[in-house]
Structure 1
Amino acid sequence: MKITDAFSKAADAVAEAAGHPASFVSCCLLIIVWGIAGPFCGFSDTWQLVINTGTTIITFLMVFLIQNTQNRENAGIQAKLDELVRVAEARNDFIAVEKLSEDEVLKLRKALIALGETARETPLAAG
């Protein structure tokens, strides 16, 4: 198994678990327990450091996991859209349009807006 496959599986599992309501409730309970422990720890620097360090590490790691799952999801959606464009006999130059530069996409968008405005100005034939 390649490392990318293992990472993808781990990212999916963590994203699934992190999005579960039980995870949210568990985190809330953890914060409550931490808050209750404050007076017993004298609201010390160590007491504060525990929550700060824990949340920072979790946030740092979650960014990469979430980005990985988003990248794969977006690639899958884009592949589906490309296939729909291909089989619909639409303009095939729209396939992989997300790979164009920002200026090229803006130019294409302006051209499509102009086409839409022209279409709205043209009266429909009476049925």
Structure 2
Amino acid sequence: MDRIFTAVSTRIAAAAGKPLTFMVAMVAIVIWGITGPIFGYSDTWQLVVNTATTIVTFLMVFLIQNSQNRDAAAMQAKLDELIRALEAARGEFIGIEHLTDLEIESIRAALEDEARELSGKDGTADDSVGALLKRR
């Protein structure tokens, strides 16, 4: 069941991001709009598009979330492997994605402080980005 869902959700998520899919959806909405006068802009006419868009949106949320979760887990596994493979890397960072937001923020702040101390600079990445933007 997992493999089937993964295969289907991957294909649907990939197709949903294509320009052709957008154009098909746009044409469907235009056709629906054109048929308004034919059906007298009835409640049923409005209900058709409302129901269809609600169902599509509801299902796409789950498919896209599944795709994002899989991508994030794969990326994390790759990063963990890089940390494990590099001798100078700190293995303690493997698995930190399972910590709370507060714990991760504290680690990030400590790393920024450490980088600032090692570089001997008081600036942050924000300062660097700001300086780069001013050059333009």
TM-score higher than 0.5: yes
Matches within 5 A, 1:54-93: 54-89=52-87, 90-93=89-92
Tell me what 2:119 maps to. Answer: 120
More contact order relative to length (CA 8 Å, sep ≥ 6) = 1
Once the two structures are overlaid, the 10-residue window that deviates more, 61-70 or 109-118, is 109-118
Please state how far the C-alpha of 1:60 moved relative to its aligned partner.
0.1
Cα deviation 1:7-56 (Å, max 9, x = unaligned): 11110111122122111111110011000000011011111100000000
Identity among equivalent positions (%) equals: 49
Q: Which stretches in structure 2 are left out of the alignment for 5+ residues? A: 122-136
- Which of 22, 44, 47 lines up with 1:46 in the alignment? 44
- The alignment partner of 2:22 has SS state of helix
Detail structure 1 runs of 4+ shifted over 4 Å in the superposition.
none
Amino acid at match of 2:85: V
CA distance in 2, matches of 1:103, 1:42: 56
Instruction: Indicate the residue corresponding to 1:37 in structure 2.
Output: 35
Q: SS of the counterpart of 1:35?
A: helix
Cα distance in 1 for partners of 2:102, 2:29 equals 47
CA distance in 1, matches of 2:22, 2:109: 44
**Which stretches in structure 1 are left out of the alignment for 5+ residues?**
123-127
CA distance, structure 2, for counterparts of residue 97 and residue 6 of structure 1? 30
SS at match of 1:40: coil
**In structure 1, which of residues 3, 10, 28 is the aligned counterpart of residue 26 of structure 2?**
28
Question: AA paired with 1:91?
Answer: R
Please, what TM-score do these two structures have when normalized by structure 1?
A: 0.89
Displacement of 1:120 after TM fit?
2.5
How many residue pairs get matched? 120
> Could you tell me how far 1:88 is from its partner in structure 2?
1.2
1:48, 1:38 → 2: CA distance? 8
